[in-house]
Amino acid sequence: MKKLLVLLTVLGLSVSAFAQIEAPVKWAYAAKRISGTEAVVFLRATIEPEWHIYSINQKDGGPVKTSFTFPASKEYSLEGKASEPAPLVKFEKAFGIDVSYFEKTVTFQQKIKLKTAGATVVKGSLEYMTCNDRKCLPPDDVDFSIPVPAK
């Protein structure tokens, strides 16, 4: 009986070790100085086929919208809100509303006002939710650190 229990335990552990964690969205970051006192940070999501993420302007009452948090810094301040290209829009039965979303890739942008001419690093976090036609994954939080070159 003990041998059977050990065998089942080992089998169960080996099966769970091969279980794949779903991560259909990969994030990449960049920054570009546009003047001595301004820069733009780029947050790019690459999304696997059949999956999508939601707009930063997604209406309440549906999926979790993509959002960005930038803590206060002595080296820069935000200029306005993050921007995005025009999203796709469709009625999604699961939420009972029209949703605004992106497939394949999307690049979000945030303009910043620099308080120094030297190099700096923009730190923050983002939250997003990804779904396909069969399911949604729980919202995910990702920390980022984006170097901004000196002028």
87: domain CATH number is 2.60.40.1250
Instruction: Enumerate residue ranges in the chain where pLDDT < 70.
Output: 1-20
Residues facing residue 40 across a β-bridge: 32, 111
- Tell the burial category of 9 from Cβ atoms under 10 Å away from its Cβ (0-12, 13-18, 19+): exposed
Rounded Cα distance, 70 and 82, in Å: 11
Could you give phi then psi for residue 115, rounded to 5 degrees? -105, 5
In 3D, which of 39, 43, 31, 32 has the Cα closest to residue 115? 39
Sheet holding 120-128, edge to edge: 67-69, 120-128, 140-148
pLDDT digits (tens, 9 = 90+) for 77-96: 999 999 999 999 999 988 89
Q: What is the pLDDT of residue 6?
A: 38
Q: Is 80 within the bounds of a domain?
A: yes
Q: What is the pLDDT of residue 47?
A: 98
Q: Is 5 within the bounds of a domain?
A: no
Q: Is 65 within the bounds of a domain?
A: yes
Q: Is 137 within the bounds of a domain?
A: yes
* Full domain range(s) for residue 54: 22-148
Q: What is the pLDDT of residue 94?
A: 83
pTM for the predicted model, two decimal places: 0.84
- Count structural domains, the chain: 1
Q: What is the pLDDT of residue 16?
A: 41
Q: Is 30 within the bounds of a domain?
A: yes
- Ranges of H-type helices in the chain: 2-18
Rounded Cα distance, 48 and 41, in Å: 23
Q: Is 97 within the bounds of a domain?
A: yes
Q: Is 12 within the bounds of a domain?
A: no
